[in-house]
A and B are shown apart, each in its own frame.
Chain A
Amino acid sequence: MKLKCIALAIATAVPALAQAQISDNAVKIGVLTDMSGAYSDLSGAGAVEAAKMAIEDFKAKEKPGFTIEVVAADHQNKADLSSNKAREWFDRDKVDVITELVTTSTALAVMKVAKEKNKLALISGGASTRITNEDCNDVTVHWTYDTYAVANGTAKAVVQQGGKSWYFITADYAFGHSLEKDSASVVQANGGKVLGAVRHPFPGSDFSSFLLKAQSSGAQVIGLANAGTDTMSSIKQAAEFGVTPKQSLAGLLMFITDIHALGLNTTQNMYLTEAFYWDRNEETRAWSKLFFDRMKKMPTMIQAGMYSAVSHYLKAVKATNSDDTQKVMAQMKKTPVNDFFAKNGTIRDDGRMVHDMYLMHVKKPADSKYAWDYYTVKQTIPAADAFQPLSASRCPLIKKTAS
C-alpha cells in the first residue's frame, strides 16, 4: 500500500518535472538600445548582432530543447520611451529579459519596470554606478563597465602621470554627473585637485564655450565626462581653440569607435579604460573578426559585453531548465563567467559583474600597423580593484546581507 502511494506520488510528480518549466518552451530576449542617435555606433545594430551571435553559438554548441528569439527596438535615449517599451515587451510580447540599455536614464527606467514585473535586465551600455548602488535591485546585472571602473583606470593613470589639477566638462544628465563624481573622487584620492566643472546640454554640438571656460580655469587636465559624439566634438574643438596641447584632455569614457572616427592624429597618447579590446589575445581576435565580417567594424566593449551577457543568461536557462527570473538569476550568480570577454567573472549581490578592466594607451599614427590597431594595453586592472568595493556600496541589498 505504502509502495503504491509512493509510486502514485512519483507518477504524478514526474510529468510535472519533465515538463519544461520554460514558458511556451521559448526564451525571448529584447535588445533595447540607441539604434539611431548619438550612441548608435558604439551600441546600436552592432549590439543586436552580438546578441544574435551569442544565440547562434549557444544553439550550435548546447543544442537546447527550447526556441530562442530576439527582438530589438530603438529607445532613442529616452527614459519614458524605454519604460513603455519594456512594459509592452514584458506584458504583451512575453519577453523574458531586456538587455543592452545604453544611456543611464533608460537603464534606470527599465530596471524599475523589470523589478515590478519580476523579469531580468542585463545592462551592458548604461554606465552610472547608480545602477548597482542607490537604484540596485535583484533582477538586474550590470555587465560591462561603469563610471567608477573607467574613472578608476583613466583618472588614476593621468594623475600619476602628473596631471594634478582638473576641470570637468560634463554631460548634464545622470550618466555625466555620475562619471564626474566618480572621477573627481579618484583624482582627489590620488592627491590631485578639482578646480571646477561645467555642465553641457545632451546631446551638444558646440563645445567651444565650455572649452573656453575650461581653458581659463588653468587646469592641467580637462576631464571629459561625456560620451559618444559629444566627446568627439569636444576633442576636435579643443584642438581648434588651442586648448590642447597646452592643457591635456582625459576622455573618461571612450570607445574604440570614437578613436576610429577621430583618427590617431587627434587622439594619440590619450589614456582610456575599456573592458575589452579586440586585439588583446587570440580568443578576442577570433570573435572580433567574426563580428567584423558582419558589421564591417570592430566591436566596442558594449557589443562584446552583450555577447557575454546573453551567452551567460542562456547557459543559466539551460542549466535550470527554467525561465523563472529568480532561479535563473541564482544560477547566473553561482556560475563564474568564462568566455572571450571575461575570465572568472562573478556577479555580486549588488548586480555588478566584476571582471578585469584594461588601461589603454592610444598609439601614435606611426605605430599603428594595420586597420583598427589603436591601443597598447598598458595595464590589466584586476577584477578585485577594477570596480567599487562592496564596502563602499550604497545598495540596500548589500546592507541587508551585512547586518
Chain B
Amino acid sequence: MTDFFGIPLPAFFGQLVLGLVNGSFYAVLSLGLAVIFGMLNIINFAHGALYMTGAMLAWIGLEYFGIGYWWMLILAPICVGLIGIAIERLMLQWLYKLDHLYGLLLTFGLALMIEGLFRDLYGVAGQPYSIPEEFAGAYNLGFMFLPKYRAWIVVASLTVCLATWYLIEKTRLGAYLRAATENPKLTQAFGINVPLMVMLTYGFGVGLAGFAGVLAAPASQVGPLMGSNLIIIVFAVVVIGGMGSILGSVVTGLGLGIIEGMTKVFWPEASATVVFMIMAVVLMIRPAGLFGREK
C-alpha cells in the first residue's frame, strides 16, 4: 500500500473528503456571518444558536407535524430568517450607531436564551433525526466508504454559497446592498429603502445558518449544544478569511475544514486548536485577514 508521510494513502484521501464535508458547514456559517458583518457591522454571536434552531425546527417539523426533510430544508431557513427579522426590528436596529461591542453582547445574550429555551424543553442528549431515504447508503470510492448524505452536504453547501456570492456581487439587488454598506445616507437619497435592505440582509444571513442547521440534522444528534460547539471555530474562520469578505469566508471555510481533517490524521489531539493557531499566525501577518481589505 502506498504511504503518504507514513499514512496509508486511502486513509489520507478519506480524511481529505471528510475535511471537505466539515469545511462545507464552516463555509455556509461563516458566509452568513460575513454577510451580516459586511452589511450591518454586527458581530452576530447568535449565529450558532440560530443554526441549532434550524436543526431543531427540522426535527420538530418531522416529530410533531410529519413534515419531511425536503420541505424543512426550505421552511426552516425561512422560519429562522423571520426570527432574525424580528430580532433585527425589535432589538438590533437600535444598536447600529453604537460600538460593535453592544451588538456582540446583545446577540450573545440572545444565543444563551435560545439555547436555554431548547435545553429546558428537550434536554441536551439530543434527538435522533434519520437520513432522508434518497440518501440512505453510501458510495464506495475505493479508498473510503462515503455516505451519500455527506456528499449531498458538500453539493448543497457549495451551491448555496455560490448563489449567495452571485446575488451580492453580480446582481442589481446586490449592487444596492453594497452601495448601502458603503454609504447608507447617499444610497437612501437615491430612493432606496436602506433600513428594509438591512433587515432583509440580517434575515437572509441567519436564514443561511438555519439552512446549515437542517443540513446538519441528519448527520449529528440534534441538540441544543450543537451550535455552541461549532460557532467559535466559525468565528475563527471569519477572522482568518477577513471580516465581511464573502468569497474569502467560503474559501477559508473549505480550506480550514481540510486542514482540520489533515490534523486529525497526523496529530488528533491538536485538531481542536489548529484553527486558532492559524488564526494567530494570520492576524500577525495580515491583521485584516487573508481576503480582507484594511479600511
Give the B-binding residues of A (Cβ under 8 A). 36-38, 40-42, 172, 198-201, 203-206, 208-210, 212-213, 215-216, 228-229, 232-233, 236-237, 240-242, 257-258, 260-263, 266, 297
User: Would A38 and B268 be within 8 Å (CB), given that A233-B220, A233-B221 are in contact?
Assistant: no
User: Would A212 and B15 be within 8 Å (CB), given that A232-B126, A261-B125 are in contact?
Assistant: yes
**Contact indicator B265/A199 (Cβ below 8 Å):** no
Query: What are 17 A-B pairs with beta-carbon distances under 8 A?
Result: A41-B123, A200-B268, A201-B269, A205-B220, A205-B226, A209-B261, A209-B265, A212-B15, A213-B264, A229-B225, A237-B220, A240-B147, A240-B149, A241-B138, A242-B138, A261-B128, A266-B128
**Contact indicator A229/B14 (Cβ below 8 Å):** no
Give the A-binding residues of B (Cβ under 8 A). 8, 10-11, 14-15, 18-19, 21-22, 116, 119, 123-128, 131, 138, 144-145, 147, 149-150, 219-221, 223, 225-226, 229-230, 261, 264-265, 268-269, 271-272
CB distance from B92 to the nearest CB of A (A): 26
Please, which residue of chain B has its CB at the minimum distance from the CB of A203? B229
Apart from A38-B124, A206-B18, A297-B123: 15 A-B pairs, beta carbons within 8 A: A41-B123, A199-B269, A204-B229, A204-B272, A205-B230, A209-B15, A209-B18, A209-B268, A212-B15, A213-B11, A241-B145, A241-B147, A242-B147, A261-B128, A262-B128
| Residues of B contacting A215 in the complex (Cβ-Cβ under 8 angstroms) | 145
CB distance from A238 to the nearest CB of B (A): 11
| Residues of B contacting A198 in the complex (Cβ-Cβ under 8 angstroms) | 268
The 6 A-B residue pairs whose C-beta atoms are closest, nearest first, are A201-B272, A261-B125, A209-B264, A41-B125, A242-B145, A205-B229
C-alpha spacing A240/B147, complex, angstroms: 6
**Contact indicator A40/B124 (Cβ below 8 Å):** yes
| Residues of A contacting B265 in the complex (Cβ-Cβ under 8 angstroms) | 209, 213
C-alpha spacing A345/B226, complex, angstroms: 40
Please, which residue of chain A has its CB at the minimum distance from the CB of B264? A209
CB distance from B55 to the nearest CB of A (A): 12
- The answer, among B8, B128, B131, B268, for a CB contact under 8 Å with A216, is B8
| Residues of B contacting A229 in the complex (Cβ-Cβ under 8 angstroms) | 124-126, 221, 223, 225
- The answer, among B223, B230, B271, for a CB contact under 8 Å with A201, is B271
| Residues of B contacting A258 in the complex (Cβ-Cβ under 8 angstroms) | 125
CB distance from B5 to the nearest CB of A (A): 15
C-alpha spacing A104/B18, complex, angstroms: 31
User: Would A216 and B226 be within 8 Å (CB), given that A38-B124, A198-B268, A199-B269 are in contact?
Assistant: no
| Residues of B contacting A260 in the complex (Cβ-Cβ under 8 angstroms) | 125
Q: Which of B22, B138, B219 counts the most A-chain CB atoms under 10 A from its CB?
A: B219
User: Would A216 and B225 be within 8 Å (CB), given that A229-B124, A241-B145 are in contact?
Assistant: no
| Residues of A contacting B147 in the complex (Cβ-Cβ under 8 angstroms) | 240-242
CB distance from B170 to the nearest CB of A (A): 33
CB distance from B100 to the nearest CB of A (A): 27
C-alpha spacing A9/B23, complex, angstroms: 81
User: Would A36 and B269 be within 8 Å (CB), given that A209-B15, A209-B264, A260-B125 are in contact?
Assistant: no
| Residues of B contacting A262 in the complex (Cβ-Cβ under 8 angstroms) | 128
Please, which residue of chain A has its CB at the minimum distance from the CB of B223? A229
C-alpha spacing A134/B14, complex, angstroms: 40
Please, which residue of chain B has its CB at the minimum distance from the CB of A201? B272
**Contact indicator B124/A41 (Cβ below 8 Å):** yes
Q: Which of A38, A203, A229, A297 counts the most B-chain CB atoms under 10 A from its CB?
A: A229
**Contact indicator B138/A206 (Cβ below 8 Å):** no
Q: Which of A210, A240, A263, A297 counts the most B-chain CB atoms under 10 A from its CB?
A: A240
User: Would A199 and B124 be within 8 Å (CB), given that A212-B144, A232-B221 are in contact?
Assistant: no
| Residues of B contacting A233 in the complex (Cβ-Cβ under 8 angstroms) | 220-221
- The answer, among A38, A213, A240, A261, for a CB contact under 8 Å with B219, is A240
**Contact indicator B11/A216 (Cβ below 8 Å):** yes
CB distance from A182 to the nearest CB of B (A): 20
- The answer, among B119, B127, B149, B230, for a CB contact under 8 Å with A261, is B127
**Contact indicator B221/A40 (Cβ below 8 Å):** no
User: Would A216 and B10 be within 8 Å (CB), given that A205-B220, A233-B220, A261-B221 are in contact?
Assistant: yes
**Contact indicator B145/A206 (Cβ below 8 Å):** no
C-alpha spacing A258/B124, complex, angstroms: 11
User: Would A37 and B124 be within 8 Å (CB), given that A201-B269, A203-B229 are in contact?
Assistant: yes
**Contact indicator A240/B131 (Cβ below 8 Å):** yes
CB distance from B125 to the nearest CB of A (A): 4
C-alpha spacing A228/B123, complex, angstroms: 12
C-alpha spacing A361/B221, complex, angstroms: 23
| Residues of B contacting A257 in the complex (Cβ-Cβ under 8 angstroms) | 123, 125
| Residues of B contacting A205 in the complex (Cβ-Cβ under 8 angstroms) | 220, 226, 229-230
C-alpha spacing A212/B15, complex, angstroms: 8
Please, which residue of chain B has its CB at the minimum distance from the CB of A209? B264
| Residues of B contacting A213 in the complex (Cβ-Cβ under 8 angstroms) | 11, 264-265, 268
| Residues of B contacting A41 in the complex (Cβ-Cβ under 8 angstroms) | 123-125
| Residues of B contacting A37 in the complex (Cβ-Cβ under 8 angstroms) | 124, 225
**Contact indicator A212/B124 (Cβ below 8 Å):** no
User: Would A236 and B220 be within 8 Å (CB), given that A212-B15, A213-B11 are in contact?
Assistant: yes
Q: Which of A42, A198, A215, A216 counts the most B-chain CB atoms under 10 A from its CB?
A: A216
**Contact indicator B220/A199 (Cβ below 8 Å):** no
**Contact indicator A212/B221 (Cβ below 8 Å):** no
**Contact indicator B269/A172 (Cβ below 8 Å):** yes
